[in-house]
A and B are shown apart, each in its own frame.
Chain A
Amino acid sequence: MKKYTVSEVEEILNSIDGIQPAEAPLYTYSKIRNRLEARNTMATGFQLKPILVIAMLLCCIIINIWMLSQQKHIVNKDNSNSSIADFSAEYGLHDSYTN
């Protein structure tokens, strides 16, 4: 473990005096422009996503409509074998309606 004496500490603290500012690396502007262009390309790529989302939603809606139409078809098929009268008789609805 290294410890420093008071005079060494003062020397360390003063070592920063007269420091010259660091210079940015070369071609900073070109590198920034490249990054900005890369961001714009990514942003354009991102804009495609809502189109995909809309397409997926449309697919879901079409599948749902198809499923519902199929369901309706099955229910209609079932109804052809029975009548409303049978249904009311089974649940005793007929009496309550006539009374």
Chain B
Amino acid sequence: MTETELIQGLRNKSEAAFEYLVHAYQHKVFNVVLGLVQQETEAEDLAQEVFIQIYLHIHSFKGESKLSTWIYRIATTKALDHIRKRNTRKRFGQVLRIFGKEEEVQLPEFIHPGIALEKKEMAAILFQALQKLPESQRTAFILIKTEGLSYEETSVIMKTSVKAVEAYMHRAKQQLRKILIANHEV
């Protein structure tokens, strides 16, 4: 099925086209969302929401970019929104804890399933440090490092220039070094 046929099928609410789309993109969407939210059940739930959004809003896809770019954009936006909500809940929980109304809930250590066994411990430290990066740096890092996208593809997804993505990556690495060396227990 070509991309044009797929898009047309989705616009016509074709079951076969939707099934094809899910099978073609489920791993990519899950991998990106998982890299960002670092929690498997939440990532599964968000990945499903991404496909539901595609199914319901395919008419808003103008065809100005590739379908995969549009899907990656929806996935990253959903994941970042989720992280923002989680951080808000965390801050609210901290306020409640001051009044002794809620106990602190820590996210479990995240071990990416695609990491080689001997690197799992180191990678867990890296993923924890990644949570402290600004959204743009974190998104660029995840898309390039875990999804293996090029700087150009990442720039289209993030609606920015290649130079900006290069700068995000450079700053992300610098920031991670600072976090790990200087003063944080990660």
Residue A49, interface by CB 8 Å: no
Are B181 and A6 touching (Cβ within 8 A)? yes
A5 to B181: give the CA distance in the assembly, Å.
Answer: 6
Residue A15, interface by CB 8 Å: yes
**Chain B residues in the interface with A (C-beta under 8 A):** 19, 22-23, 26-31, 34-35, 44, 47-48, 51-52, 55, 112-116, 119, 122-123, 125-126, 129, 145-148, 173, 176-177, 180-186
Interface-side segment among A22-30, A78-86, A87-95: A22-30
A16 to B48: give the CA distance in the assembly, Å.
Answer: 26
Point out the residues of chain A lying under 8 angstroms from B122, CB to CB: 11-12, 15
With known contacts A35-B52, A36-B55, A24–B147 Cβ distance under 8 A:
no
Point out the residues of chain B lying under 8 angstroms from A19, CB to CB: 112, 114-115, 123, 145-146
Point out the residues of chain B lying under 8 angstroms from A36, CB to CB: 52, 55
**B142 CB to nearest A CB, Å:** 10
Are B26 and A13 touching (Cβ within 8 A)? no
Residue A51, interface by CB 8 Å: no
Point out the residues of chain B lying under 8 angstroms from A31, CB to CB: 48
Interface residues on A, range: 20 to 34
**A31 CB to nearest B CB, Å:** 6
Point out the residues of chain A lying under 8 angstroms from B29, CB to CB: 24
Give the number of A-B contacts (CB < 8 Å): 100
Point out the residues of chain B lying under 8 angstroms from A1, CB to CB: 183-185
Which of B114, B115, B181 has a CB less than 8 Å from the CB of A4?
Answer: B181
Are A25 and B27 touching (Cβ within 8 A)? no
**A98 CB to nearest B CB, Å:** 77
Are A22 and B30 touching (Cβ within 8 A)? yes
Extra contacts besides A6-B181, A19-B115 (18): CB < 8 Å:
A1-B184, A9-B176, A12-B123, A12-B125, A15-B115, A15-B122, A15-B125, A15-B126, A16-B115, A16-B145, A16-B146, A21-B27, A22-B35, A23-B27, A24-B26, A28-B30, A29-B22, A35-B52
Which of B26, B123, B146, B186 has a CB less than 8 Å from the CB of A28?
Answer: B26
Point out the residues of chain A lying under 8 angstroms from B125, CB to CB: 12, 15
A9 to B113: give the CA distance in the assembly, Å.
Answer: 21
18 contacts between A and B (CB under 8 A): A1-B184, A2-B185, A3-B181, A3-B183, A4-B180, A9-B181, A13-B173, A15-B119, A15-B125, A18-B116, A22-B27, A22-B34, A22-B114, A23-B30, A23-B31, A24-B29, A28-B44, A36-B55
